[in-house]
Amino acid sequence: MTQSYHMIEYIHEAPQALARTLEENETPIQQLVEDVRRRGIQRVLLTGLGSSYTSALMAAPLFYYHCPLPTRVLSSGEIPYYAGCWIDERTLMVVISRSGERGLAVNALVDAVQRGALAVAITGVADSLLAEKGQSTLITVEGAEITFPKTKSVTACTGLLMRLALALAEAQDRAAAKRLSLLIDAPKFIQQTLEALEPAVRSLMPSLKSSSYVAVVGMGSNYGAAMEGAMKIMEAAEIATRFDGTDGLLHGPIGGLDAQSLVTALVTESDWEVSKSLLEVLRRLGTRSLCICPPGLELAGLGDAIVSMPASFDPLMAGLAYITPLHLLAYYWALVRQIDPDAPAAMQTILGAVLPPGRSEPELRKDD
């Protein structure tokens, strides 16, 4: 019997984690929006590290499309380069860290407070350093996640950021109202995705086992999902993986792929044409491909393997849904490679480098 790890439990808890997070943060988000308007905030800066950063990238299209305030997304390590011109009393600075213990993220928040910004922490740990330093805190309520590769917390955080983007929209923005309804229904869609796609992902593993190099690509919200998927495959399954935009891989980097490579393409109706072009080139180069796409797209004969989502999902929000099959892929890939996905070999070395002195990783505390 195959051993089951925490990671798969948490993947299955993602729909409930998202639903709870949205419900419990509705009032704090409305209060935050009131503060933004009262203080005359003129710009938004989202920042995080690792999967917190990918969550910001997945939510970014909703900020770009619906939030009337100019929005930028930066990794926390890059904040010091631009703080002097971007962060002041007119800035909403949203710093994201599930553990709340990442030194670069905490430093970015402290600096934002000192510069007079409206500094908001998004974290899953209420007594973390980040929560202590923020002027306002939004808590994701996914529960314990005692594994190094995070999954349900990424889903919860991405949904919370999307909710903030829609809350900042103009009152007359009807498209934002429609997307809010879609966001509220997203937990049900993710649950359907889990039930429909888990058997399909498991059945693919024998054919994917030999891949020595992986690229994950997507556009729009799926650009962030591609980065998240690449990160999880490297963290859990320890396979060298890159991420890129679908268009970015097509223009140059694709030339370095070979028959031992695998390209996982996250496809929506909006990027169907460029995705087809990529798949056609991959076929001519002899590089294998895996397509995750909505039903009904004409990709037969192009992708070596096709995993169909239960239905179409809004391209500006697609990452929230597409990370589910990517998390499943990373988990089952780890199993077929006989790797413990909860605690990969490099975990302690990495944590020793990214945590502030004297701080520990709350997610990885021992079971009671």
pLDDT, tens digit, for every residue of 28-49? 999 999 999 999 999 999 999 9
Taking the domains of the chain in order of start, what are their residue ranges?
6-172, 189-337
Calculate the alpha carbon distances from 152 to 14, 50, 280 in Å. 4, 14, 34
Q: How far apart are CA 169 and CA 174, in angstroms?
A: 10
Q: Is residue 3 packed enough to be buried (19+ CB in 10 Å), middle (13-18) or exposed (0-12)?
A: exposed
Low pLDDT (below 50) residues in the chain: 1, 365-368
Q: What is the pTM of this model?
A: 0.92
Q: What is the per-residue pLDDT for 10?
A: 97
Query: How many degrees, rounded to 5, is the angle at CA 186 between CA 262 and CA 275?
Result: 30
**CATH annotation of 189-337:** 3.40.50.10490
The backbone torsions φ and ψ at residue 69, rounded to the nearest 5 degrees and listed phi first, read -90, 135
Helices (H), the chain: 6-24, 26-38, 51-66, 79-86, 103-114, 129-133, 152-167, 174-208, 221-232, 246-250, 272-285, 318-336, 347-354
Q: Are 91 and 35 in contact, with CB atoms under 8 Å apart? A: no
6-172 and 189-337: identical CATH topology: yes
**Percent helix, strand and coil across the chain, each rounded to 5?**
55, 15, 30
**Among candidate residues 18, 285, 272, the one with its CA nearest the CA of residue 158:** 18
186: left (phi over 0), alpha (psi -120 to 50) or beta: alpha
Q: What is the per-residue pLDDT for 103?
A: 80
Q: How far apart are CA 155 and CA 324, in angstroms?
A: 8
Q: What is the per-residue pLDDT for 354?
A: 52
Q: How far apart are CA 112 and CA 83, in angstroms?
A: 8
Looking at CATH, the fold of the domain delimited by 6-172 is given as Rossmann fold (3.40.50)
